[in-house]
Amino acid sequence: MPAGDRLRVGVLVSGRGSNLQALLDASSRPDYPAEVVVVISDRERAAALDRARAAGVEALFVNPKDFGDREAFDLALVSELTTRRVGLVCNAGFMRILSPAYTRAFAGRAMNIHPSLLPAFPGLHAQRQALDHGAKITGATVHFVDDGPVDTGPIILQASVPVEPDDTEETLSARILAQEHRLYPEAVRLFAEGRLAVVGRRVTIR
Ligand code: GRF
């Protein structure tokens, strides 16, 4: 697919970046309808920035300390992303809550990935929450970002993952992560192909 025809994707990260890597790997396939054009981190040493550089993708550190408040930081993100004509933003392990100033700017064009079957176990330590609740099944969710508190927003794709009796947070996280790496590029592909329709809280795939 010609580069100009591909959906331009920005990715927000804070850490390891394994989901970013899944998106970069998908982007490197010529028939994939989206390409990551910029990766932005709120942490200077995020390994995700190294992954972006290694893939030849622009890697930006935007320091929250340079801004007076959350909204000013979020508006700086909006500015960096719109300057690069990004059509979709993917949060991939981005550890900040985005204000309405941001979510409004990218309404219907921002996704997040979360390591549980939402609406179960939103927020931090979703895998530990699943273990603490004795859940037998958990999983991964890709959803649109809305202006709700955390991990709300219409659900795009989900995959279930069994919780094994001897699971630790690490073993469960690894099993979920394998599904995350499959789901996120698939959700971006569906978006890029114009196959997602949102009606109220429901996302249908055409
Ligand atoms: C993933 O489990 C993702 O679902 C959650 O944070 C983790 C990020 O991992 N939001 P990575 O940085 O993509 O490796």
pLDDT digits (tens, 9 = 90+) for 152-183: 999 999 999 999 999 999 999 999 999 999 99
For the chain, the domains span 7-205
Q: What is the pLDDT of residue 148?
A: 86
* Domain 7-205 annotated CATH 3.40.50.170: yes
Q: What is the pLDDT of residue 172?
A: 98
pTM, 2 dp: 0.97
Query: How far away, in angstroms, is 2 Cα from ligand 1 center?
Result: 30
Nearest ligand 1 atom to alpha carbon 173: 2
Q: Out of 16, 19, 157, give the residue to mutate to test ligand 1, the one with the largest number of ligand atoms within 8 Å of its CB.
A: 19
Question: Is ligand 1 within 6 A of the CB of residue 15?
Answer: yes
Q: What is the pLDDT of residue 3?
A: 64
Q: Out of 43, 129, 180, 188, give the residue to mutate to test ligand 1, the one with the largest number of ligand atoms within 8 Å of its CB.
A: 180
Q: Whose CA is nearest to atom 6 of ligand 1?
A: 93
Residues with pLDDT less than 70, the chain: 2-3
Q: Which of 108, 90, 104 is CA-nearest to residue 153? A: 108
* Catalytic positions: 114
Contact 88, 110 (CB under 8 A): yes
Contact 42, 62 (CB under 8 A): yes
Q: What is the pLDDT of residue 185?
A: 98
> Per the omega criterion (within 30 degrees of 0), is the bond before 119 cis?
yes
Contact 7, 34 (CB under 8 A): yes
Question: Is ligand 1 within 6 A of the CB of residue 92?
Answer: yes
Cross-strand partners of 198? 203
Q: Whose CA is nearest to atom 8 of ligand 1?
A: 93
